[in-house]
Amino acid sequence: MAKYLLLKHYRGAPAAVNDVPMDRWTPEEVTAHVQYMQDFADRLEGTGEFVDGQALAPDGMWVRSDGQGKPPVTDGPFAETKDLIAGWMIIDVDSQERAIELAGELSAAPGANGEPIHEWLEVRPFLGAAPTITE
Amino acid sequence: MDEALLRAIVPTVIGVLGRRGADFAAAEDAVQEALVEAVRVWPADPPRDPQGWLVTVAWRKFLDAVRADTSRRRREIRVDEQPAPGPAEVVDDTLRLYFLCAHPSLSPASAVALTLRAVGGLTTRQIAQAYLVPEATMAQRISRAKRTVSGVRFDRPGDVGTVLRVLYLVFNEGYSGDVDLEAEAIRLTRQLAGMTEHPEVAGLLALMLLHSARRPARTRTDGSLVPLAEQDRGRWDTRLIAEGVDVLQAALARDRLGEYQAQAAIAALHADARTAEETDWVQIVEWYDELVRLTGNPVARLNRAVAVGEADGPRAGLAALAELDPALPRYAAVAAYLTERDGDPAAAARLYAEAARAATDLPEREHLTRQAARLNAGIRGCVRRGYFSAEASVARVAGVTLPRRAVVALGGNAMTGPDGSATPAAQRAALAVAAGHVAELVAAGVEVVLTHGNGPQVGNLLVKNELAAHEVPPVPLDWNVAQTQATIGFTLADELDAALAALGVPQRTAALVTRTLVDAGDPGFAAPSKPVGRFLPREQAERFIAMGQTWEDRGPRGWRRVVASPEPLSVVDGPAIHALAEAGFVVVCAGGGGIPVADDEGPALRGVEAVIDKDLTAAVLARDVAADALVLATDVPNVMVGFGTPAARPLGRVTPAELRAHAAAGEFARGSMGPKVEAVLRFVADGGERAVVTTLEHITDAVTGDDVGTVLHA
C-alpha cells in the first residue's frame, strides 16, 4: 500500500473544463458538490483506502522567523502567490494506477449546471518508511 | 496482562469457534470483540485460564451476533457445542488460518491486515496505527478481506509462498507506532516454522533473524540510515545471528533451495564479515546468481550489480548495471555508488541527486541527498576561477595527489603596487590580488597557512622612527615587525575572507601575531649584514650609530642600516597556528619571518633587534605545522640557472641533489633566490614532500601539477 496526497487548488492549477467559480453556482449545485465529496470519502473508507480529507480557507499569510527573541514576521494574505491550495485528500491504495483512478473520480465532482468540473488535481506520493531488507 | 500470550492463543480460539460451526468471518469478528474486551478487563481481573476465557467470551459474542442476524433474516443456524480441540487440531487450525489470511484472492495490503488480526491477534486499532491509517479505514479493509475469502473453504490447503510473502511484507514494514512489526513478523514466522517442514519457511525465518540482528546498528539516534558498510558491527546481535545461521544451515541441508534461503545466505555472509572489507563478495555474487535464477527478479539483478562492483571492481558492476532497466527503483542510487567508485565524482553527484528525487522513503532520500552534497562540496573545491571547467578539474585532481596542507609565502611584490608604491590603497589592492590566488588554492581543497614578507612596510616604519625620533621615542625592530604583521595580517584577512566567499568556500581567515625563536648567540648578531630602511647621509646615520645601531657606508647613495639576520629555530606560536589550521582556518602568520625573540631562560622571551628571512621561516613553519607542501611565491615563474648568460634556462621539476648542485655552483644570488633555494631544500630535507617556487598566479597549478614553476620533490 502507498499513500497519496490528492491536492485541490484554488489557483495555480491549469483551468478546469467547467471553470465557473463556486460562488456563481446555484445553492443546489453547491449542495450536490459537497454531497459528492462526502460520498466519495465514505466510499473510500468502505474500501479501506481513506486516510484523511481537509479543506483550507483561501485566506492565509506567510510567516517567517525573524531571529531568536523576536516575534515572527508575517506577510500576506498571499498577495504574490500563484499557487493556492484549497484542500486535500489522503488515500492509501495498492498502486499508482488506483491513485490516478480515484483522483479522476474526484475531479469529476459536479459543479455549475450539475456538470462535472473536470478540474486538475495534483497527485503526490508520500515518502514512506525505510524497508528493513534492502540488499 | 501478558499480551504476547493473549495474541498467541487468538488463532486457536478462532479455530475452536470454526469447528463449533462458525464461519471464518463471524468467528474472527467474535474473537476480535473478545480480544478488545480482554484488553479492557484482564489487567484488573486476569483469568486463571486465558484460553478458556477467550473461547467462552468469543462464543457468547458469536451467539449474540447470530441471534441478531437470525432475527433479522428469520433463519436458523444450527450450532454444536463441541469439546476443546487437542494439540494436533490446534496446529491444523492455526496453519489453516495462515493460508486463509494470505489467500491469493486478497491484495497484499488486505492479506497483511487480515494476517495481523486473525493470526497475529493484533487489534484493529494497533494495525491501523502501525500503517498510519484511521481505525475505521483499517476495520473496513479487514471486513472486505474477510468477505473476499468467505467463499474459501476453511480446510483447504494453501500455497506457502503467499503466506511467506505476507510475512515478508510485515517484516519489511519495520517499526512504526507502538507495534513492532519486525518482532511480530518474526514471531509469526517462527510459529509457522514450528508447524511446517518447508525449507523456505526456515529460509525466511533465518533472513528475518539475520536482518533483525543488525537493527541496533541500522539507524543513528537521529533516525538517519547507516549503510551496511558503515555499521558498527560490534552492535549486531550475535545471538540472533547464531540462531539465523543455525536455522539457515538446517534448511539448506534439505537441498530445496528457494529465494528466501538464498537471501538469508547473503545476509549470513554479511554477518560473517567482522569488517566491511572482509566481506566475501565473490560468494555473495554466486548467491545473487542463484537468486536471479530462482526468481528472475530485477531487484535481485540490481543488487547483484552492486555485489559484482565489490567483487570485480566498479567497471564490472557498471557493466552488469548496463544490462538492466534504468526505470528500476534504486537504479540511479546503484549507478551513483558505482560511478563514484569508478572515479567520476561529478557524474556520481548528479546520479545521487537523481536517485534522491526518485527515493520512495524519507531516510533513503536524506541519505542520498547527503551523498550528492558530499561529492558536490568536493567538486566545488576544484572549480577554479577561469582556469578550467569542473570536469577537467576533477580529472586533474584524480591524477595528482593534492597536498593536504601547504605553507604559502608571499613575497614583497605581493604587497606593493606594480610601481612599488606603498600607499595604503596600493597595498590593499595588491593584497586583494594575492588573496584571490591563495583562495583558489584553498578552493582546490588544500589547507593553507599563509606567511608574507614585510620589507617595504618595515622600511617605512623605520623612516617614521627616524623622522619622529625627536617627538616620540623610536621603537625597537621587533616592535616594527609586530606592527607590520598586524597591518598586513588584518588586510590579508579581510581580502582573503572576501575572496574565499566569492569562490563559495566555507573556510575563513585568522591572522596571528607570531614570534620566531632565534639563538641569541647566532653569528648574525656579531656581524649584522642585512640592510634595512633608507639611505641617509653620514651625519644623520651617525646620530643613530650613537643610539647603538649599526650603519654601513654603501657608497654614493649614502649610509644604510644593517641588522642581524639570524637563523629561525622554531615558530614559537606554531602549536596555535597548527590548532587554527586543524580547525579549518586559513591562518595568516609569521609575517616578515616572525618577530625575532631569544630565550634567555628568563620568565619571558626577549625581542631582539633583527629581521629573519621570511622564506627560511616559512620552511620552519611548514615543518612545525606538518605541512606537506611549501610554496614560495615570487616575481618569476621559475628558478633560473645560468641567469644572465645565453645558456639561461628555467628549472622545472628538480630533485634535491640537482638543486643542491646548482646552489653549490653559485647559481643563486644571496639575498634573492639564494634563501628561497635554501628554504625549499631545508623543507624537503625535513620531510616535506613538495616545494614550489613560482609566481603568485601559478601557485595552484604548481601545487596540483608538475608542469608549472620550479617543483622540488622529496
Domain B406-529+564-713 listed as CATH 3.40.1160.10 = yes
Considering CB atoms only, which of A46, A94, A129 is closest to B174?
A: A129
CB contact under 8 A, B172 and A48: no
**Cis, bond preceding B50 (omega within 30 deg of 0):** no
**Minimum distance, in Å, between the CA of residue A17 and any CA atom of chain B:** 32
Quote the percentage of chain B above a pLDDT of 70: 92
How do the domains of chain A map onto residue ranges? 2-125
B352-357 long-range contacts, CB within 8 A, separation 24+: B355/B330
Mind giving me the DSSP string for B84-114?
PP-HHHHHHHHHHHHHHHT-TTS-HHHHHHH
Residue among B105, B106, B115, B137 with most chain A CBs within 10 A, to mutate = B137
Q: Band of the pLDDT at B76, cuts 50, 70, 90?
A: very low
Residue-wise pLDDT tens digits, A90-123: 999 999 999 999 999 999 999 989 899 999 999 9
Q: Which residues of B touch A (CB under 8 A)?
A: 107-110, 113, 131-134, 136-138, 140-144, 168, 171-174, 176, 182, 207, 211-212, 225, 228, 263, 266-267, 270, 303, 306, 359-365
How much is the pLDDT for B156?
54
- Which region among B238-247, B485-494, B630-639 has the lowest average model confidence (pLDDT)? B630-639
pLDDT (0 to 100) of residue B33:
93
pLDDT band of B557, cuts 50, 70, 90: confident
pLDDT at residue B80 in the model: 44
Closest approach of B341 to chain A, Cα-based (Å): 18
**What is the mean pLDDT of the segment spanning B175-191?**
85
Give the three-state DSSP class for B47: coil
What are the beta bridge partners of residue A54? A88
Q: How far apart are CA B614 and CA B594, in angstroms?
A: 7
Does residue B54 surpass a pLDDT of 60?
Answer: yes
Mean pLDDT within B262-269 = 97
Interface of A with B in 29-48 (CB under 8 A): 44-48
Chain A residues in contact with B365 by the CB 8 A cut-off are: 127
d(CA B148, CA B323): 41
Q: Please tell me the distance in Å from A37's CA to the nearest CA on chain B.
A: 17
- Return the HEC string of B170-188: HHHHCEECCEEHHHHHHHH
- Which site among A52, A54, A102, A135 would you substitute to test the B interface, given the most B Cβ atoms closer than 10 Å to its Cβ? A135
Residues ≥6 apart with Cβ < 8 Å to B230: B276
What are the residue ranges of CATH 3.40.1160.10 in chain B?
A: 406-529+564-713
Say if residue B625's pLDDT is above 80: yes
pLDDT digits (tens, 9 = 90+) for A8-60: 988 788 888 888 877 788 888 888 888 899 899 999 999 999 999 988 887 78
**Model pLDDT, residue A79:** 59
Quick one: pLDDT at residue B369? 83
Please report the pLDDT score of residue B707 as a whole number.
78
Whether A67 and chain B come into contact, CB under 8 Å, resolves to: no
Cα dihedral sign, B81-B87-B89-B92:
positive
- pLDDT of B509 strictly over 60: yes
Q: Which of B138, B211, B270 sits opposite A132 (nearest CB)?
A: B211
Q: Of the ranges B197-201, B387-391, B706-710, which is most confident?
A: B197-201
Question: Any idea which residues of B carry the catalytic annotation?
Answer: 412-413, 530, 614, 676
- Do B140 and A47 count as a contact with CB atoms less than 8 A apart? yes
Tens-place pLDDT, residues B333-367: 999 999 999 988 888 989 998 998 888 888 888 88
Instruction: Assign domain A2-125 to its CATH architecture.
Output: 2-Layer Sandwich (3.30)
From A131's Cα to the closest Cα of chain B, the distance in A is 5
**Residue-level pLDDT at A60:** 81
Phi, psi of B633, rounded to the nearest 5 degrees: -90, 130
Contacts of B303 in chain A (CB under 8 A): 135
Say if CB A49 and CB A93 are below 8 A apart.
Answer: yes
Q: Say how many C-beta atoms besides its own lie within 10 A of residue B649's C-beta.
A: 11
What value does the mean pLDDT take over residues B212-234? 88
Q: Which range in B6-15, B374-383, B500-509 is most confidently predicted, on average pLDDT?
A: B6-15
**Residue B157: its pLDDT value, please?**
63
Confidence of residue B390 (pLDDT cuts 50, 70, 90): very low
On the question of pLDDT at B198 being above 80, the answer is yes
Closest CA to B608 of B674, B539, B522: B522
- Say if residue B216's pLDDT is above 60: yes
Q: Give the per-residue pLDDT at B71.
A: 67
Least confident of B68-77, B177-186, B233-242, B528-537: B68-77
pLDDT at B91: 66
pLDDT of residue B89: 63
Residue A6 in this model has a pLDDT that exceeds 50: yes
**A46 to chain B: which residues are within 8 Å by CB?**
140, 144
Cβ–Cβ under 8 Å, residues B126 and B173: no
Query: Is a pLDDT exceeding 80 seen at residue B528?
Result: yes
Quick check: B58 and B30 in contact, CB under 8 A? yes
CA–CA–CA angle A58, A60, A65 (5° rounding): 155
Q: What is the dihedral of CA B430, B435, B441, B442, to 10 degrees?
A: 170
**C-alpha distances in angstroms, B177 versus A51, B1, B125, B129?**
16, 20, 11, 6
**Structural element, H or E, at residue B450:** strand B447-452
Q: Evaluate whether ipTM surpasses 0.95.
A: no
Measure the N-to-C terminal CA separation of chain B; round to a whole number of Å: 75
Q: Is residue B485 within 8 Å of B514, Cβ to Cβ?
A: yes
**B93, three cell numbers:** 487450525
Q: What is the pLDDT of residue A92?
A: 95
The pLDDT, as a whole number, for residue B388 is 30
